Amino acid sequence: MVVHTISGAAPGRRTEHRAGWGLVAPFLVIYLLFLVVPTLYGFVMSFFNGALVKSGLGSFAGVSNYLEALTSADFWSSTWHTLLFTIMTTPPLVIVALALAILTDRMRHGRWFFRLVFFAPYVVPVASVALIWTWLYTPKIGLWESWLGAVGISAPNWLGDPNWAMASVALTTVWWTLGFNFVLYLAGLQEIPRELYEASAVDGASPWSQLWNITIPMLRRTTVLVLLLQAIASLKVFDQIYLMTEGGPNFATRPIIGYIYDIGFTDFRTGYAAAISTLYFVLILTVSVIWLLVNRRQLREV
């Protein structure tokens, strides 16, 4: 009887495995063709003096492209601009999203309205967002200048001043992408058992105490996920900066991906651009792995 059960279950598992591979096969093919193969080709290209106006990989360059990148002031300044953008956007996008999610979760009426209001900007295309906020920032006719002027504050040249341009783009990004983190936190809040709040209320816990001792600890895994996704998204910034400032003024907002774009499609140096892309890929991968390992250890200690 036991032999019959085992021999009958094995073909069933094999059928399930074949069905599973059949379902994921289309994705695997697309993943290999459009991600793995181009990544490997780019890595090979980084060792050659390739040019966009010539066919083939070009002459062999060894590691000279990497050495040139590591000694380039433009490479490091673009990397710093990317890190600065990440520092400016990640904390507010996590803290504000958490605060809005908690407030919305505690609303008794009209919760759907606040979900819509906070998430709606996230579905707006980046070109529309850039056009709207560029108009808001425009000197003399922009709404920001009118609003600040009404309270006696003179508005800076938001996108034209190197000291304000990055902060202006960061503010735009916070408004635009806040909704994604807001939805993640809202889903995490709904997973917290209501019995915990009811029991703590019976014991006399205040709402502030419930927030620090129940809500925030129970959202620890969600916060780790939000921080990781947000940091990676900020490190990949390009679209809104290119549309709003084109990396200016005087390259004050050019991120590393903008630098790669300029090298590859303006200077036509595809081999050097591939080397910079590889270096930056390694940087993001290292940050992600370290972040995951640190947080995994902290979660185990908890």
From the list 221, 198, 222, the residue with the least C-alpha distance to 210 is: 198
Highest mean pLDDT among 5-19, 42-56, 245-259: 245-259
Structure token pair of residue 97? 């999203």
The 10s digit of each residue's pLDDT in 63-82 is 999 999 999 999 999 999 99
Q: Is the pLDDT of residue 3 over 60?
A: no
How many angstroms separate the CA atoms of 132 and 113, rounded?
Answer: 23
Higher pLDDT, 170 or 3: 170
Structure token pair of residue 196? 């915990």
What's the pLDDT at 278?
94
How many angstroms separate the CA atoms of 193 and 208, rounded?
Answer: 17
What's the pLDDT at 1?
45
Out of 69-73, 165-169, 174-178, 221-225, least confident range: 221-225
Higher pLDDT, 190 or 55: 190
Phi–psi pair at 143, nearest 5 degrees: -70, -35
Contact indicator for 177, 233 with CB cutoff of 8 Å: yes
Q: 48: which strand partners?
A: 60
What's the pLDDT at 9?
54
Out of 23-37, 82-96, 281-295, least confident range: 281-295
How many angstroms separate the CA atoms of 192 and 198, rounded?
Answer: 12
What's the pLDDT at 10?
65
Report the predicted TM-score, pTM, of the whole model to 2 decimal places.
0.85
Radius of gyration of the chain (CA): 25
How many angstroms separate the CA atoms of 88 and 94, rounded?
Answer: 11
Residues 6+ apart with CB under 8 A from 287: 231, 235
The 10s digit of each residue's pLDDT in 251-266 is 999 999 999 999 999 9
How many angstroms separate the CA atoms of 39 and 45, rounded?
Answer: 10
